[in-house]
Chain A
Amino acid sequence: MSANFNLKHLLGIRELSVDQITYLLDTAETFRDVSRREIKKVPALRGRTVINLFFEASTRTRTSFEIAAKRLSADAVNISVSTSSVSKGETLLDTARNLEAMAPDCIVIRHSSAGAPQHLARFCNAAIVNAGDGAHEHPTQALLDALTIREHKGRIAGLKIAIVGDILHSRVARSNIYLLSKLGATISVAGPGTLVPPEFAELIDQGVTVERNIQDAIDGADVVMILRMQRERQTEAFFPSMREYAVHFGLHLSHLSRAADDAIVMHPGPMNRGVEISSEIADGGRSLILDQVTNGVAVRMAVLYLLAGAGKTENGVKKTQNGKNASRGTSPTIREGSSDSKNGSKEKKEKTRNSKPEARN
């Protein structure tokens, strides 16, 4: 499989192949167990350095990446915008080059500008992981959502997914549309007309169904994903009031009566309870919101492991593109990946349990 997982950076889902996505999800599954143990640590990335470079406020994602790095025994350094030199007028590129001079193996970046990770990837040697860039992509969120869906539904192909809310400004929506459609799901989106441009119908070759009414999108859905509504969109005149938004575009229990019987509800957080999602749903039996958070750590462990670990030699010296595969043999999680996500994952879990990353050292 490793031949198919030839990825230096994780910049977005759009460019990934089905094999690469499946391999990331399968790897994440093997890491999920680490967090369930008493000693939640494996030595897979011992001696590697991961920098979390966050230019946007974030609690969940930053903490998730930090915990993921630490559970892999990497040294994790967090830099947030308020304490960085950006406030002194330094450019993103200079900040990154200075950090790179300290030889990190991986830079995880969140930035309000779409394309900021691509910008760094063009000029830096470290592996770049996109932790959310503007309204562009949030690949690890889509991976953790897919992992969560796969865990509960056993598959992604053939599912109907409804994504509701501010699609226009949502990197989560874009990454999920790419990922879930690549794995064979069909997607419907709905929300206020100002935030769901009809052009979304042609975002991907397979097409996206754009609904005006959220109930139409939810009808028959196996998965309902609710997006966060940002209050500043109201002052930008995208909708008149949070109250009206809650009434017309918030998810209520009644909506779910026409979803699939075993429909699940997801939200990338942080939630505005009573706005885009009612508390009875958020806290109810169909909600997988906390499972998503748990899976977030596993997905980020997999991403860091594959990008900061598997492509490197033991002494940490980066190999050239051609030399990359040389170190692959040392990776304990290498196995044939499958583009068929229907095959459940239990047997694979068994298969890989004996070859956990900790076996290495």
Chain B
Amino acid sequence: MRLLIKNGYVIDPAQGTNTGRNLLIEDGRVVGLSSHSEPAPEGCEVLDATGLVVAPGFIDMHVHLREPGHEYKETIASGAAAAVAGGFTTVCAMPNTNPINDNAAVTRFVIEQAERAGLASVLPIGAITKNSDGAELAEMGEMKDAGIVAVSDDGRPVPTAGMMRRAMEYARGFDLPVIDHCEEKSLARGGVMHEGHWSLVLGMRGMPAAAEEVDAERNCLLAELTGARAHLAHLSTRGAIDTVRRAKAKGLAVTCEVTPHHWTLTDEAVADYDTNTKMSPPLRSRDHIEAILEGLRDGTIDVVATDHAPHHADEKALEYDQAPFGIVGLETAVGLAMDRLVNQGVISLERLVELYATNPAAVLRLEDRGTFRAGARADLTIIDPEFAWTFDASRSKSKSRNTPFDGYAFRGAAVATIVAGRVVYLRPGFERLTSTAPKALAKSRSR
């Protein structure tokens, strides 16, 4: 089956493409790009992308899909549906499920469930240590054979420098990046929000920025010691971003990510004790947001990831300090980047594609994703930079609704998502895109 995405504006930073092009895909793979004036090849279906941006499929390398073990919060199928509705073609599932993904059997289970769901591609991340206890290394080699793309004890930061050193040395041998949630527990313990003016006003224990900064520094020093690839998850502080900037200047294999909520909201959002403002790392003060925006602009920050963390409404309807950390993010991530970054002139559209597709593919060494090179997977995210919309959490594809962005208005959205050549999502109102390719859509809907 062949599908032509015609008259779109193609942005593929990996190839330096940033211009109007037609994109031809066949049997789930990219055939190549051609100019708008070139006639459509015979016998192919057509998706008319006039006025839209066509980008390599977006990759969210940090999500919590909760299956196995916490299916009441999210399943791999519901998480994958939320992913494609948000414009993501690939998501990486963190291992903190029950059981934890610390062995090949769980890895294979996650992959099988994702294949059954058939929406976004789900790539598992394995645990660094058994049961993420921070004591013994998990079987990274077997998990890699089964399909993991990185290792992380996300949510339970590797507690000691000694353990992290061994993990980096061992993971290096399998060419796996080590992803760490930077948080020095002895500083952050008991904290439920950013430590600063608002934690004093609200009378809640804070997590100082230094808790993240100390651990980020530790991880960069260990990356230097071991030569491993270290990826620092969801950075939220000026100090940690500075640390990464210095590590990169030294030539270390250190990369990092930030989340949309950390550049959108300050800790003042906690003021009315809404538990949908509770996440780890916490919402920070204005100065830290400025540092994130600088890092996004100057290239220090490689990747945007959502840290999509579904929790049931009952769990979030507790006292603030009792409620679990985390918010969902898959369906608002592109809107927040388009509205708050691209359309405000903070970053270019090309930079956005780097942050959401090119760079996560590079960090995870996903050779055939994040680009439209001939032979790459035909994963596409199609964006309407001007589309005005309002997020209605009650219509989310996720099983959970724990978001502070319900009712937010955005300009700019992912309007069509194509995974391995199949149109798996069209935003309501954009069905017309495939009016000339009814079969492509029908096929995807029948699954």
Residues in A lying within 8 Å of B, measured CB to CB: 14, 91-93, 111, 113-116, 118-119, 133-137, 168, 171, 174, 197, 199-200, 202-203
Whole-angstrom distance between the alpha carbons of A91 and B142 in the complex?
Answer: 43
12 contacts between A and B (CB under 8 A): A92-B318, A111-B319, A113-B321, A114-B204, A114-B320, A114-B321, A115-B273, A115-B319, A115-B320, A119-B273, A135-B203, A174-B201
Whole-angstrom distance between the alpha carbons of A168 and B191 in the complex?
Answer: 14
Residue of A nearest to B190 (CB): A236
Query: Given that A115-B273, A199-B196 are contacting pairs, would A135 and B317 also be in contact in the complex, using a CB cutoff of 8 Å?
Result: no
Q: Which of these, A14, A118, A135, A200, contacts B273 with CB under 8 Å?
A: A118
B35 proximal to A (CB < 8 A): no
Chain B binding site: helix, strand, loop or mixed by DSSP? loop
Say whether B204 contacts A115, CB under 8 Å. yes
Residues of A near B317 (CB, < 8 A) are 91, 93
Query: Given that A114-B273, A134-B321 are contacting pairs, would A197 and B200 also be in contact in the complex, using a CB cutoff of 8 Å?
Result: yes
Residues of B near A203 (CB, < 8 A) are 197, 200-201
Residues of B near A14 (CB, < 8 A) are 201
Whole-angstrom distance between the alpha carbons of A264 and B83 in the complex?
Answer: 63
Whole-angstrom distance between the alpha carbons of A111 and B203 in the complex?
Answer: 12
Residues of A near B314 (CB, < 8 A) are 91
Whole-angstrom distance between the alpha carbons of A113 and B202 in the complex?
Answer: 10
B50 proximal to A (CB < 8 A): no
Query: Given that A119-B273, A202-B197, A203-B197 are contacting pairs, would A135 and B204 also be in contact in the complex, using a CB cutoff of 8 Å?
Result: yes
Whole-angstrom distance between the alpha carbons of A148 and B319 in the complex?
Answer: 33
Residues of B near A137 (CB, < 8 A) are 203
B137 to chain A, nearest CB (A): 32
B273 to chain A, nearest CB (A): 3
B322-334 vs A, CB cutoff 8 Å, 1 = contact: the mask equals: 1000000000000
Residue of B nearest to A136 (CB): B203
B127 to chain A, nearest CB (A): 30
Residues of B near A111 (CB, < 8 A) are 319
Say whether B200 contacts A171, CB under 8 Å. no
Residues of A near B202 (CB, < 8 A) are 114-115, 136
Q: Which of these, B197, B203, B319, contacts A119 with CB under 8 Å?
A: B319
Whole-angstrom distance between the alpha carbons of A116 and B197 in the complex?
Answer: 20
Residues of B near A93 (CB, < 8 A) are 317-318
Residues of B near A118 (CB, < 8 A) are 272-273
Whole-angstrom distance between the alpha carbons of A200 and B320 in the complex?
Answer: 22
Residue of A nearest to B320 (CB): A115
Residues of B near A200 (CB, < 8 A) are 200
B259 to chain A, nearest CB (A): 24
B390 to chain A, nearest CB (A): 23
Residue of A nearest to B321 (CB): A113
Interface centre among B201, B202, B319, B320 (most CB of A within 10 A): B319
Residue of B nearest to A169 (CB): B203
Whole-angstrom distance between the alpha carbons of A113 and B197 in the complex?
Answer: 18
Residues of A near B196 (CB, < 8 A) are 199
Say whether A174 contacts B203, CB under 8 Å. yes
Whole-angstrom distance between the alpha carbons of A134 and B205 in the complex?
Answer: 10
Pick the 3 closest A-B CB pairs, nearest first: A136-B203, A115-B273, A135-B203
Query: Given that A136-B202, A203-B197 are contacting pairs, would A113 and B322 also be in contact in the complex, using a CB cutoff of 8 Å?
Result: yes
Say whether A113 contacts B200, CB under 8 Å. no
Say whether B204 contacts A136, CB under 8 Å. yes
Interface centre among B201, B317, B321 (most CB of A within 10 A): B201
Other CB < 8 Å A-B pairs besides A113-B322, A199-B200, 5 of them? A92-B318, A114-B202, A114-B321, A168-B200, A199-B196
Whole-angstrom distance between the alpha carbons of A174 and B320 in the complex?
Answer: 19
A132 to chain B, nearest CB (A): 10
Residue of A nearest to B205 (CB): A135
Residue of A nearest to B196 (CB): A199
Residues of A near B319 (CB, < 8 A) are 92, 111, 113, 115-116, 119
Residue of B nearest to A167 (CB): B200
Give residues 319-377 of B contacting A (CB, 8 Å).
319-322
A207 to chain B, nearest CB (A): 13
Residue of A nearest to B272 (CB): A118
Give residues 417-442 of B contacting A (CB, 8 Å).
none
Residue of A nearest to B274 (CB): A122
Residues of B near A115 (CB, < 8 A) are 202, 204, 273, 319-321
Give residues 159-209 of B contacting A (CB, 8 Å).
196-197, 200-204
Residues of B near A92 (CB, < 8 A) are 318-319
Whole-angstrom distance between the alpha carbons of A174 and B319 in the complex?
Answer: 20
Residues of B near A114 (CB, < 8 A) are 202-204, 273, 320-321
Say whether B320 contacts A113, CB under 8 Å. yes
A267 to chain B, nearest CB (A): 20
A142 to chain B, nearest CB (A): 13
Residue of B nearest to A14 (CB): B201
Say whether A134 contacts B200, CB under 8 Å. no
A84 to chain B, nearest CB (A): 15
Whole-angstrom distance between the alpha carbons of A91 and B319 in the complex?
Answer: 9
Whole-angstrom distance between the alpha carbons of A351 and B329 in the complex?
Answer: 60
Whole-angstrom distance between the alpha carbons of A274 and B105 in the complex?
Answer: 62
Say whether A91 contacts B318, CB under 8 Å. yes
Whole-angstrom distance between the alpha carbons of A197 and B196 in the complex?
Answer: 10
Residue of B nearest to A200 (CB): B200
Residue of A nearest to B315 (CB): A91
Residues of A near B322 (CB, < 8 A) are 113
Q: Which of these, B197, B203, B320, B321, contacts A199 with CB under 8 Å?
A: B197
Say whether A119 contacts B200, CB under 8 Å. no
Whole-angstrom distance between the alpha carbons of A116 and B314 in the complex?
Answer: 15
Q: Which of these, B203, B272, B320, contacts A171 with CB under 8 Å?
A: B203
Whole-angstrom distance between the alpha carbons of A202 and B321 in the complex?
Answer: 24
Residues of B near A168 (CB, < 8 A) are 200
Whole-angstrom distance between the alpha carbons of A200 and B199 in the complex?
Answer: 11
Residue of A nearest to B318 (CB): A91
Whole-angstrom distance between the alpha carbons of A202 and B196 in the complex?
Answer: 10
Whole-angstrom distance between the alpha carbons of A91 and B314 in the complex?
Answer: 9
Residue of A nearest to B204 (CB): A114
Residues of B near A174 (CB, < 8 A) are 200-201, 203
Residues of A near B318 (CB, < 8 A) are 91-93
